[in-house]
Amino acid sequence: MNRLIPLLRREYWENKGAFRTTPMVIGGLYVIFLLMSIFTTARIDSELYTLREAVRMLSDQTPEFRNALIYQGMLGSSVFFTVVMGFVIFFYLLGSLYDDRKDRSILFWKSLPASDTLTLASKLLAAMVVIPTFFLLILVATHIIMAIIGALMILGVDGNPWTLMPSMLIPIKAWSMIAVSWYAQSIWALPMFGWLMLVSAFAPRLPLLFATLPPLVFAVLQTWIEFLRTFTLKSNIVGVIGDWIVNSPAILTAEVHHGSGEVALGFPQTEQFDHSVNLINIADRLLSIEMLGGLVLATVFLAAALWLRRRATES
């Protein structure tokens, strides 16, 4: 009997607000902002002049330009989803092995014939796969709704949306790229996920404090000792975490330069990795020596979390 599926459903039921409602709210905000900007333009302009002008200018461009614009725009619009998803996963994992100890329902969960390993795996899988999948489906739905609104507007100013819209391959390519970058980010983030689950299994109370304070104290000590030894301020654990975020395989940068959009993996501030958005650069990160180190660390953290979970009853 496959017990993983019911355990994943249980995670979904308990965290419906975080898994499903949160991305729906972001998608809703996107749609509302789009409608508001259309409404504002319509109020200021007579006869929707700006919109007509925009449609005319777009029609004058090459299809390649329009495709690139839409592709970059779609990738760029995922950044807000990615950042919020990061927070959702952070707090989900922080509570994953803590909440049921706190409200004593762990005694019920442990009365079911599901092993602690499987329980831990279900929570890790929820963070790595289930949450990104919910965010992805809702992002896709948001894009489709926005495209329909856009098409209606173009029709409203006597344009032809079919000639302006990119080929169907463009959105599919954009969604696939976002999906790959998110699932890659799940692997890239494993040491952080492992740490959060360990804290969640360990913290007697205030897991947020236990998750953030030790690295901070460690960083301060590191910097201080380094300063005493060499009278310089070099990189410490905060620097390592910073590099880890900067080099993330998720699209975290979306800027507009001189009218053209620019998206990048992580933040293009280091030379260590190529930050332009493509599959090779994502794979490059996953096959790096840094990733290997991260996986070793994640294994240690997760093994410790499992050890604690086996012995855990109510806290």
Partner 1 sequence: MNPIISARGLSKRFGRTLAVDHIDLNIPPGRIVGLIGPNGAGKTTAMKAILGLVTFDGELSVLGKNPAHERAALMEEVCFIADVAVLPRWIRVWQLIDLTEQIHPKFSRGKCLKYLAETKVTPQHKVKQLSKGMVAQLHLALVMAIDASLLVLDEPTLGLDIIYRKQFYTNLLNDYFDQERTILITTHQVEEIEHILTDLIFIQDGKIVLKASMDEVQQRYAELMVSKGQVEQARKLSPIYERELFGKHILLYDNADRAKLTELGEIHTPSIADLFVAKMKGSTREGISV
Please give the residue ranges that form the binding site for partner 1 (CB under 8 A).
1, 3, 5-7, 9-10, 13-14, 100, 103-116, 118, 311, 313
| String of DSSP letters for the chain | ---HHHHHHHHHHHTHIIIIIHHHHHHHHHHHHHHHHHHHHHHHSSTTHHHHHHHHHHHHS-HHHHHHHHHHHHHHHHHHHHHHHHHHHHHHHHHHTTHHHHSSTHHHHTTSS--HHHHHHHHHHIIIIIHHHHHHHHHHHHHHHHHHHHHHHHHHTT--HHHHSPPTHHHHHHHHHHHHHHHHHHHHTHHHHHHHHHHHHH-SS-HHHHHHHHHHHHHHHHHHHHHHHHSS----HHHHHHHHHHT-SSEEEEEEETTEEEEEES-TT-SSS--SSSHHHHHHHHTSHHHHHHHHHHHHHHHHHHHHHHH----
Task: Identify which of 242, 254, 8 has the alpha carbon closest to the alpha carbon of residue 130.
Answer: 8
Place of tokens 């604690």: 308
CB of 247 to partner 1, least distance (A): 37
Smaller CB separation from partner 1, 9 or 205: 9
State the nearest-atom distance from the C-beta of 129 to partner 1, in Å: 19
| Shortest Å, Cβ 173 to partner 1 | 38
**Residues near 20 by beta carbon (within 8 Å), at least 6 away in sequence:** 12, 134, 138
- Closest to partner 1 by CB, 255 or 314: 314
Compute CA distances 291 → 162, 191, 197, whole Å: 44, 9, 19
Least distance to partner 1 from the beta carbon of 109, Å? 8
CB of 121 to partner 1, least distance (A): 13
Whole-number minimum distance, CB 127 to partner 1, in Å?
18
Q: How far is the CB of 255 from partner 1 (least distance, A)?
A: 41
Nearer to partner 1, 44 or 118 (CB): 118
Q: 4 or 32, CB closer to partner 1?
A: 4
CA–CA gap between residue 135 and residue 130 (Å, rounded): 9
Q: How far is the CB of 314 from partner 1 (least distance, A)?
A: 8
> Residue 46 or 313: which CB sits closer to partner 1?
313
114 or 245, CB closer to partner 1?
A: 114
Pick the closer one to partner 1 by CB: 14 or 290: 14
Question: In the complex with partner 1, which residue's Cβ is closer, 98 or 188?
Answer: 98
